[in-house]
A and B are shown apart, each in its own frame.
Chain A
Amino acid sequence: GEDVEQSLFLSVREGDSSVINCTYTDSSSTYLYWYKQEPGAGLQLLTYIFSNMDMKQDQRLTVLLNKKDKHLSLRIADTQTGDSAIYFCAESMRTGFQKLVFGTGTRLLVSP
Chain B
Amino acid sequence: GAVVSQHPSRVICKSGTSVKIECRSLDFQATTMFWYRQFPKKSLMLMATSNEGSKATYEQGVEKDKFLINHASLTLSTLTVTSAHPEDSSFYICSANEGTGGGNTFGSGTRLTVV
Q: Which residues of A contact B (CB under 8 A)?
A: 30-31, 33, 35, 40-45, 48, 50, 88, 97-105
Instruction: A45-B106, A50-B101, A98-B32 are known; give 7 further A-B pairs, CB within 8 A.
Output: A31-B103, A40-B111, A41-B108, A42-B108, A43-B106, A99-B49, A103-B43
Query: Are A45 and B103 interface neighbours, CB within 8 A?
Result: yes
Q: Which of chain B's residues have a CB closer than 8 A to the CB of A102?
A: 43-44
Which residues of B are in contact with A by a Cβ distance under 8 Å? 6, 32, 34, 42-44, 46, 49, 93, 95, 97, 99, 101-109, 111
- Closest 8 CB pairs between A and B? A43-B106, A42-B108, A98-B97, A45-B103, A42-B106, A42-B109, A102-B44, A102-B43
- Nearest-neighbor residue (CB-CB) of A96 within chain B: B32
Residues on the A chain within 8 Å of B97, using CB? 97-98
| Pairs across A and B, CB under 8 Å, 19 listed | A31-B103, A33-B103, A33-B104, A42-B108, A44-B106, A45-B104, A48-B102, A50-B101, A88-B43, A97-B97, A98-B104, A99-B34, A100-B34, A100-B46, A100-B104, A102-B43, A104-B42, A104-B43, A105-B42
- Give the complex CA separation of A76 and B95 in angstroms: 25
State in angstroms the CA–CA spacing of A88 and B43 once bound together. Answer: 8
